[in-house]
Chain A
């Protein structure tokens, strides 16, 4: 790994502070963009309405207004709730989200941590959020919350398997778990001897990409996989008793995780910060890399939110059937085929 040469030498604590600030921006900026662009505007257009128009030009400051509104609200804890667990639950979900962003590279030298386990670490920390959801549902002392949390857990466990197995195909092809290594494998790869566009794994791993996106949709518990928060049956599931700041934390967690999973999908299948035709070791990518990645995040999350606003909700049994009887066998076949082809070629 070559190191980034800066004009100033930074002490360890300065680097750490810088990383923390950039991490915050890297989590909150995509989350805000997704909420405004897709939840406020795209959904409105798909439903033949304008969406928020009052706050700022074209409603662009609506997000600040919403955050201000949530911050002013009273932080209500139900009388019979388990206070400590109830209050800690949103933090557990947010910790999972903030740990996820660490492995995503934004350029040849722009990494938070350049670890050997890479994508495996990301998938491991993404599973911590389940505990936060269970804590929230149980501590609320509400039947709606508990049912919502149990449904969410059943769903997250079921869809974590295809999520992990879909990534396996990419790992086999790239020959590494390291996210930077996966980007490089795509940038320097060739398709039947033609290296003009590198080898973005979406071409060879399209099945993996499709399974990954479906599983992400379910992991985010958004429509069509929103049984845990089905408003006609469970009010809002495990979120029912939350208000004000803590509700906002769950909300930010949901959309930040959507953005980060889109970033993971872009890095694994679309070449991450790389655009074809340039030298991947070029210092230029330290500048334009994050912007390229952001473009790809918006592209992938457009797909995610398009499905979200289009399809009706799955029934609970259909949801489990899809995971266990369709997605998991398909991803296992994908792994076997990829493994065989990797050995043959």
Chain B
């Protein structure tokens, strides 16, 4: 890694000052953006705050050495999913300004669902990893990820693919009138 020469003393040792500072900045930005995303009454602004949160998540993946996952996060979530959100919002309600329909009733439900998801995913992560340390010495290689997906995890991978295909076909079937 000729390009990252200056980083070597920071990544291979035990003290990871630069990463910790970067993580702190990313975490603060993500939390502020996430709070603004759920409190703003402007739907387009909410989608744009979501971009900041997702970009922060990609940054954290890269900090942890999971480069391929970070790049995929950018390509899939920022480049495709949020773009589709924005596209849909602008096609259906192009008006600028705040949306009156984003009312309090839906928010109670949203808070409930949010807390539920946090508890379930947080519990799952704590349960499976506990306080295991992250191996920062070697960034994960794309080839290794490809190998493990198409050998060890081939069945779950295919199951998810078929599920996505079913969702895709289902959406088309629901959308067409004839």
What is A's interface to B at a CB cutoff of 8 Å?
Answer: 1-4, 11-12, 15-16, 80-82, 85, 109, 111-117, 120-121, 123-125, 127-128, 130-131, 134-135, 137-139, 141, 146, 149-150, 153-154, 157, 160, 177
Contact B68 A150 (CB under 8 A): no
The 26 listed contacts between A and B (C-beta, < 8 Å) are: A2-B2, A16-B6, A80-B96, A109-B2, A111-B2, A111-B3, A112-B3, A113-B4, A115-B67, A116-B67, A116-B142, A117-B71, A123-B75, A127-B79, A128-B74, A128-B79, A130-B83, A131-B48, A134-B90, A139-B96, A150-B91, A153-B83, A153-B86, A157-B83, A157-B84, A160-B79
What are the 4 tightest A-B residue pairs by CB atom distance, in nearest-first order? A127-B79, A12-B6, A124-B75, A124-B74
> Does any Cβ of A come within 8 Å of B30's Cβ?
no
Task: Given contact pairs A82-B44, A112-B3, A117-B67, enumerate 9 new A-B contacts (beta carbons under 8 Å).
Answer: A15-B6, A116-B68, A128-B74, A128-B78, A131-B83, A134-B83, A138-B90, A157-B87, A160-B79
Interface of B is mostly: helix
> Does any Cβ of A come within 8 Å of B13's Cβ?
no
What is B's interface to A at a CB cutoff of 8 Å?
Answer: 1-7, 44-45, 48, 51, 67-68, 71-72, 74-75, 78-80, 82-84, 86-87, 90-91, 94, 96, 139, 141-142
B2 to chain A, nearest CB (A): 4
Which chain A positions have C-beta within 8 A of B80? Answer: 127, 157
Which chain A positions have C-beta within 8 A of B94? Answer: 138, 146
Given contacts A127-B78, A141-B96, contact A134 B139 (CB under 8 A): no
Contact A127 B75 (CB under 8 A): yes
Which chain B positions have C-beta within 8 A of A2? Answer: 2
Query: How many angstroms between the C-alpha atoms of A12 and B6 in the bound complex?
Result: 5
Query: How many angstroms between the C-alpha atoms of A174 and B51 in the bound complex?
Result: 33
Instruction: Select A114's contact among B2, B48, B84, beta carbons within 8 Å.
Output: B2
